[in-house]
Amino acid sequence: MKKYEINKILVPVDFSTLANNAVQTAVAISKRQLATITLIYVVENAYVLFPPEVSGAAGTLLPQLVKDANDNLSKLAKELRIQHDIVVTHVVQSGNPADEICRWALHKKMDLIVMGTHGTAGLREFFMGSNAYRVVKNAPCPVLTLPGLTPWLDFKKILFPVRMVPHALDKYEAIRPIIRKNGSSLVVAGIVKNNDPESLIEMQALVDTVRRQISEDHVMCGSKVHYCENPATQVLDIANQINPDLIVITATLDSTVKEFFLGPYTQDIVNHSKYPVLSIKPEYELESSGVLKILMQQSLVQHTATA
């Protein structure tokens, strides 16, 4: 995997407390990594669709929604620039929020998306459940999802689950910038099927490889191999026991995983974790993703220039 750096951060906002917490987390990351921030607000299609008898309303409402969003976003960006002395721009799009977030991340070659796991009920909670997972699944870069009502300003303890999936160790390179800037320690958790000696041997070798890489970086590390029936549940249980500041997962497509791991592993962890989750797709999946190719081909309509 090529050397990964965090230079450009994309933050979806809807002016909810949860989204504002994501902004504060992104600001903390930006300061440590010397990265720029782009705030993105998406006007959902559902709010500009009307029955035929009022078809003219959509053409009147959309420009006003975009203007209001741009005014609010411009104000927030200016406040962040003045308060934190960082580079902050903003953009307003219309469409499906998850799709537009991924499209913009691809178009501007973002290094990281930082987002809350759900937003306000008035915006149909578009950060919740399947929509948050849709961003994780389709994004061209790592995605940091943040639960709860408190900003996560540093990542001192990182839970690093390891599964028997292709390119399982790619994600270590992706968290190196975070480790360096946070002075993080790692807890490596190997996940294997109950009563499977062959997988245990393979997993132990994989964990040893991780430990060697980590020791070369002079990072504090603990490790343990865990037997389980459901890997997502096991990872969440471990997290609840050790209270990490961050969980780092390999967000592989289910079809690439052995039978034991079939199922919504990534979705379950993103939706149910009480801790921040950094989801990283292996490079081979990014390159072969049909969704990304479609996003690349579709035109970008920028309703508002960046501030």
Q: Do 111 and 231 belong together in one domain?
A: no
Give the mean pLDDT of 143-165.
Answer: 90
Q: Do 265 and 284 belong together in one domain?
A: yes
For Cα atoms 211, 212, 215, give the angle at the middle one, nearest 5 degrees.
80
Q: Do 215 and 238 belong together in one domain?
A: yes
**Phi/psi zone of residue 15: left (φ > 0), alpha (ψ -120 to 50 degrees), beta?**
left
Q: Could you tell me if residue 299 is inside a domain?
A: no
- The enclosing domain of 281 has a CATH number of 3.40.50.620
- Contact status, residue 204 vs residue 224, Cβ threshold 8 Å: no
Q: Do 146 and 186 belong together in one domain?
A: no
Backbone CA torsion sign across 146, 285, 203, 196: positive
SS3 letters across the chain: CCCCCCCEEEEECCCCHHHHHHHHHHHHHHHHHCCEEEEEEEEEHHHCCCCHHHCHHHHHHHHHHHHHHHHHHHHHHHHHHHHHCCCEEEEEEEECHHHHHHHHHHHCCCCEEEEECCCCHHHCCCCCCHHHHHHHHHCCCCEEEECCCCCCCCCCEEEEEECCCCCCCHHHHHHHHHHHHHCCEEEEEEEEECCCHHHHHHHHHHHHHHHHHHHHCCCCEEEEEEEECCHHHHHHHHHHHHCCCEEEEECCCHHHCCHHHCCCHHHHHHHHCCCCEEEECCHHHHHHCHHHHHHHHCCCCCCCCCC
Flag whether pLDDT at 293 surpasses 80: no
Total residue count of the chain as it appears in this document: 307
Q: What is the pLDDT of residue 263?
A: 52
Which domain, by its residues, includes 64? Answer: 8-150
Q: Do 187 and 138 belong together in one domain?
A: no
Kindly report, residue by residue over 104-150, the tens digit of the pLDDT: 999 999 999 999 886 444 444 444 445 777 898 889 999 999 987 78
Total of domains in the chain? 2
Q: Could you tell me if residue 293 is inside a domain?
A: no
Q: What is the pLDDT of residue 190?
A: 92
Flag whether pLDDT at 302 surpasses 50: no
- The last residue of one of the domains, among 113, 134, 150, is 150
What pTM, to 2 d.p., does this model score?
Answer: 0.84
Q: Do 56 and 163 belong together in one domain?
A: no
Give the mean pLDDT of 75-90.
Answer: 97
pLDDT bucket at 258, cuts 50 / 70 / 90: very low
Q: What is the pLDDT of residue 252?
A: 65
Give the mean pLDDT of 29-36.
Answer: 97
Q: Could you tell me if residue 306 is inside a domain?
A: no
pLDDT bucket at 232, cuts 50 / 70 / 90: very high
Q: Could you tell me if residue 298 is inside a domain?
A: no
- The share of the chain scoring above pLDDT 90, in percent, equals 46
